A = this chain, B = another copy of it.
Amino acid sequence: MSELRKDPIVGRWVIISPERGKRPSDYASRKTEKKEGFCPLCPGNESLTPPEVFAFRKDRTDPDGPGWNIRVVPNKFPALSSEGETNRQCVGIYDKMNGIGAHEVVIETPDHGAELPNLPLSSIKKILFVFKMRTEELAKDPRFRYIVIFKNRGLEAGASLQHSHSQIIALPIVPKRILEELKGGKRYYRDHDRCIFCEMIEQEAQLGMRLIEENKDFVSFSPFAARFPFETWILPRFHASSYSTIRQPQYQTLAEILSSTLKRLDEVLVEPPYNMVFHTAPIMDEELPYFHWHIEIIPKVTRVAGFEWGTGFYINPTPPEQSAAYLREVALS
């Protein structure tokens, strides 16, 4: 079983996952070619994934066979395992616990070559609904404290399979980055009695220069202190701390802005590898006045070097105002 370990200095948890057990020789050949050919996520190969936990299927088709449009399966090589107790313990100055959690794969389309933003809006809406539905299901497990929804596109962004998919991980701890956002949001709220994200949305809408797109419910912009070229955030314009508060008409507006924002990135950066992560409040929390759920999209177009790792201080060679201008100007078909 994998293990969760806490760095005693800065309090960061890591998953030590020896099941994925890589030997030095696995790292020594640093291949970056795309693997083509056989795909375990394609229709017809359902028996090669663990049994599905959910699917949108054509009538009268059986689970774990073809006929699905969206299919959710446990990850075959999960970073965390769902059986057992967390069993928190100290080893001298160190804290650790069992690697308990859930790790699911959302196969977004049966079409091997299709990409998320180019799916019909009706499909993207269903994917967004599946994210919420699986989140709510996993949140019922009392061992879990946090659920991350994310998508890696392209090998350079860490996607080992090309077939369009997202992932959901349920964790027994709240990750450091989210704790920092909660803390920062709380501090601002205490001083100003307002949500800092709401403030930011207002300021960006007024200034316009980092704005990419907006609709009735959502806005996308390049953040003021963007760490990466073309880093892009999508936020609800209304205050809500948790993704699972999303309601029916908002699936449509979120699907629209997500699709067009990703299309803009594909156009400007020529189908870049990217990571997309949903930042939402921890499971147990009530609606929080100081936190605001949002999506962060980071195209992988630069290499993060020693300076960045060592300091948590990033060098971004493209100002967000420039990124936003390029992205705004795309003519969407």
Using a CB–CB distance below 8 Å, which chain A residues touch chain B? 3, 5-18, 20-22, 24, 27-28, 30, 32, 79, 92-94, 148, 150-152, 155-159, 167, 169, 171, 173, 175-178, 180-181, 184-185, 188, 196-197, 199-200, 203, 223-227, 229-230, 268-270, 272-273, 275-279, 296, 298-299, 301-307, 309-320, 322, 326
Contacts and interface: CB of A to CB of B under 8 A. Distances in A.
Contacts of A92: 203
A173 B92 CA distance: 34
A150 B92 CA distance: 31
Q: 6 closest Cβ contacts across the A-B interface?
A: A158-B305, A277-B310, A275-B306, A177-B312, A175-B311, A27-B301
Nearest to A199: B93
A11 B177 CA distance: 12
Contacts of A7: 223-225
Contact of A32 (B8, B32, B275, B296): B32
B317 A157 contact: no
A312 B6 contact: no
Contact of A16 (B32, B306, B316): B316
Given A306-B151, A307-B150, A171 B14 contact: no
Given A8-B184, A156-B303, A150 B310 contact: yes
Contacts of A296: 309-310
A14 B316 contact: yes
B13 A225 contact: yes
Most-contacted residue by chain B among A178, A197, A277, A318 (CB, 10 A): A318
B317 A18 contact: yes
A313 B175 contact: yes
Nearest to A299: B27
14 contacts: A10-B181, A14-B314, A14-B315, A15-B313, A15-B316, A20-B315, A20-B317, A22-B229, A27-B229, A32-B32, A157-B303, A158-B305, A173-B313, A296-B309
Given A8-B184, A93-B199, A276 B224 contact: no
B196 A315 contact: no
Given A94-B224, A167-B306, 16 more contacts: A8-B200, A9-B188, A10-B180, A12-B314, A14-B227, A16-B226, A21-B317, A22-B318, A27-B299, A27-B301, A28-B269, A28-B272, A94-B203, A176-B312, A277-B310, A298-B306
B184 A9 contact: yes
A158 B326 CA distance: 25
B317 A177 contact: no
A276 B200 CA distance: 36
A277 B307 contact: yes
Most-contacted residue by chain B among A28, A268, A316 (CB, 10 A): A316
A263 to B, nearest CB: 14
Most-contacted residue by chain B among A7, A224, A276 (CB, 10 A): A224
Contacts of A272: 27-28, 30
Given A184-B8, A326-B24, A309 B316 contact: no
A198 B5 CA distance: 19
A166 to B, nearest CB: 9
